[in-house]
Amino acid sequence: MINKREFLQAALATTALWGLSGHGNWGRLAAQQALSQDRLLQFDDFGNVTLIHVTDIHAQLKPLWFREPAVNIGVGEARGRPPHVTGKDFLSMFGIAPGSPDAYALTHEDFTALARTYGRMGGMDRVATVVKAIRAARPDAILLDGGDTWHGSMTALRTQGQDMVNVMSALGVDAMTSHWEWTLGQDRVREIVDGLPFAFLGANIFDAEWDEPAFEPYKIFDKGGARIGVIGQAFPYLPIANPRWLFPDYSFGIQEARMQEVVDHLRGTEKVDLVVCLSHNGFDVDHKMAGQVQGIDVILTGHTHDAIPEPVLVGQTILIASGSNGKFVSRVDLDVRDGRMMGFRHKLIPVFSDVIAPDPDMAALIDAERAPFAADLDEVVGTTESLLYRRGNFNGTWDDLICDAIRSERDVQIALSPGVRWGPSLLPGDPIRREDIHNACSMSYGQVYRTEMTGETIKAVMEDVADNLFNPDPYYQQGGDMVRVGGLSYAIDVAKPMGQRISALTLDGGEAVDPAKSYSVAGWASVNEGTDGPQIWDVIEAHVRKLGSVRAEPRETVTVSGA
């Protein structure tokens, strides 16, 4: 192994453009570019190996709005460290000019105005153009998908992921790992994987009964004169964060010792020159794992939806964060010689849909996949007068609208809505089409339950979720945001231990929540089998139809301290 000093020198010598000489290069260089396809794709080929990374597409085939978080708190060692830097701090850390295309792509600042200036992002037909352009320059490039691909839209749910399988196969993916894929049920996952033209990797997916590996842990590629081992790491907390009954035969977990064993096997027995981990751990988990497991050169991170314009270095491992929803494609060129990574050059390519031309073949495929559902998808249910967004540690306006719908349609005092990180945004004045509602809540277990909970139970639920997000040890973080609440306000001290973070629970109207008293509560995405109730998208649609026009301004229901 090379030592850190040699590594840094090698990297610095060869990454003048997109290197890691501290933060700040990215924006200055990006600001010099005109917004054109050629400039967006411009990349001086480097070394002999190219990785292309996409992740957390959440079945978003078409260009979209996606507002990045205003609040993304890091705890413990992660405090103030990317990706836990937002807004103006993010712009200044990376030297990005306010109001620039990159400010729009990477932060929430002036989102609505900049969205109108720079247009929607993503679209898998545009992603296809980017991938083809990279492959034209580097035919040996390896395309890796970090998972959360077969979930997140009405068409993905109705086709049980088939639309995404067809699109990703046409895109030419070489290997993927998984998370929400499993919410289609284990039989469907096995059916797809049996016919998949690329590898479905998960070193940490074990047979729950026999406690032995259940899927391929890695795949080896001989590309660019190098032998490259790609290890898959599925989302570790699937049976906890998602319904275990949908995939009862499988067990997951971080399994650090297993990861080390696979890395050692690749280096010792398979004699690879480069070890890449295609991960769905979440960024902070990967950051810790990079320091614990020896011998990983590149971690392609996923799950937590972070877009970071420069690689993050942990020891001799580089971490790449490629965003979500098709907004970005990462290109990583590597100089791999004599069994070592000697240097790298990286670019987080923002997919501006008005700038990057759609690939005609992929556009035709996407249209064909959507055609059977077109009338359903495009039906206008209402209009929004204000920005609807979700991403952020606490309630977004989409969540407030969903909680309002639940309280109104299910006639309850309190609504709970999961703090998932997917769900695109809508701009003021946008029609709310049925597809937009599904994009915010599509899932295989969307029933809206209705129940009674004591104040004590409500607090316990919130403490539990808060610890999944704010536990100072990343290995105890599940990677979602805080549960969203309706009809309720509260204070949270993120620095406190579990059980002491949540206080001042108050009902709408100002009455304090009594631990001993029972309240009517409804919510969706229960992990329990046999949950009864209408589907969440039908509940939202009924509510929006009644309102006709929606106005959801950010609410001051959560008071945060300790950050």
Partner 1 sequence: MEMNRRKTIALGAGGVAALIGTAALAQTAPATTTAPAAAPAAPVTPGKTAEQWIAEFTGGAGVTEGGVELTAPEIAENGNTVPVSVAADGASEVLLVATGNPVGGVMIARFGPAAGRREIATRIRLARTQDIIGVAKMEDGTFRQATANVKVTIGGCGG
Positions touching partner 1 (CB under 8 A) are 179, 193-194, 207-216, 235, 237-242, 244, 249, 251-254, 257, 282, 303-305, 418-422, 460-461, 464-465, 467-468, 473, 475-476, 478-481, 483, 498, 525, 527
Please say which residue, 125 or 463, places its beta carbon nearer to partner 1: 463
The CB-of-193 to partner 1 minimum distance in angstroms stands at 7
Please say which residue, 353 or 526, places its beta carbon nearer to partner 1: 526
Please say which residue, 126 or 305, places its beta carbon nearer to partner 1: 305
Please say which residue, 19 or 419, places its beta carbon nearer to partner 1: 419
Give me the amino acid identity at 448. Answer: V
Please say which residue, 7 or 235, places its beta carbon nearer to partner 1: 235
Helices (H) and strands (E) in the chain, counts: 19, 24
Q: Which single residue is written with the structure tokens 């978003």? A: 60
Please say which residue, 407 or 459, places its beta carbon nearer to partner 1: 459
Distance, CA of 386 to CA of 547 (rounded, Å): 14
- Kind plus residue range of the DSSP H or E element containing 111: helix 111-118
The CB-of-86 to partner 1 minimum distance in angstroms stands at 16
Q: Given strand 298-301, what is the order of strands in its sheet?
A: 218-223, 226-233, 274-279, 298-301, 317-321, 312-314
330 φ/ψ sector (left φ>0, alpha ψ -120 to 50, else beta): beta
The CB-of-523 to partner 1 minimum distance in angstroms stands at 10
Please say which residue, 379 or 473, places its beta carbon nearer to partner 1: 473
Please say which residue, 131 or 201, places its beta carbon nearer to partner 1: 201
Is residue 156 within 8 A of residue 59, CB to CB? The reply is: yes
Distance, CA of 199 to CA of 192 (rounded, Å): 11
Distance from the first to the final alpha carbon of the chain: 38
Phi/psi at 552 (nearest 5 deg)? -130, 90
The CB-of-257 to partner 1 minimum distance in angstroms stands at 7
Please say which residue, 51 or 285, places its beta carbon nearer to partner 1: 285
Give me the amino acid identity at 245. Answer: W
Phi/psi at 519 (nearest 5 deg)? -130, 150
Is residue 332 within 8 A of residue 53, CB to CB? The reply is: yes
Closest-CA residue to 233 (of 201, 261, 267, 206):
201
The CB-of-457 to partner 1 minimum distance in angstroms stands at 9
Token pair, residue 449, equals: 């339950």
Neighbouring-strand partners of residue 521: 414, 451
Pairing of strands 502-507, 518-524: unpaired
Distance, CA of 72 to CA of 393 (rounded, Å): 6
The CB-of-238 to partner 1 minimum distance in angstroms stands at 7
Distance, CA of 160 to CA of 117 (rounded, Å): 36
The CB-of-472 to partner 1 minimum distance in angstroms stands at 12
Is residue 30 within 8 A of residue 102, CB to CB? The reply is: yes
Is residue 259 within 8 A of residue 279, CB to CB? The reply is: no
The CB-of-467 to partner 1 minimum distance in angstroms stands at 8
- E-strand ranges in 107-171 read 142-145
The CB-of-278 to partner 1 minimum distance in angstroms stands at 17
Concatenating the DSSP letter of every residue in 414-442 gives EEEE---S---BB-TT-EEEHHHHHHHH-
Distance, CA of 15 to CA of 312 (rounded, Å): 14
Please say which residue, 30 or 416, places its beta carbon nearer to partner 1: 416
- 82 half-sphere exposure, CB direction, 13 A CA radius: 27
The CB-of-427 to partner 1 minimum distance in angstroms stands at 23
Distance, CA of 10 to CA of 2 (rounded, Å): 10
Please say which residue, 170 or 527, places its beta carbon nearer to partner 1: 527
The CB-of-378 to partner 1 minimum distance in angstroms stands at 28
The CB-of-3 to partner 1 minimum distance in angstroms stands at 28
Please say which residue, 304 or 557, places its beta carbon nearer to partner 1: 304
Please say which residue, 237 or 328, places its beta carbon nearer to partner 1: 237
Is residue 147 within 8 A of residue 181, CB to CB? The reply is: yes
The CB-of-312 to partner 1 minimum distance in angstroms stands at 19
Q: Which single residue is written with the structure tokens 């945004």? A: 425
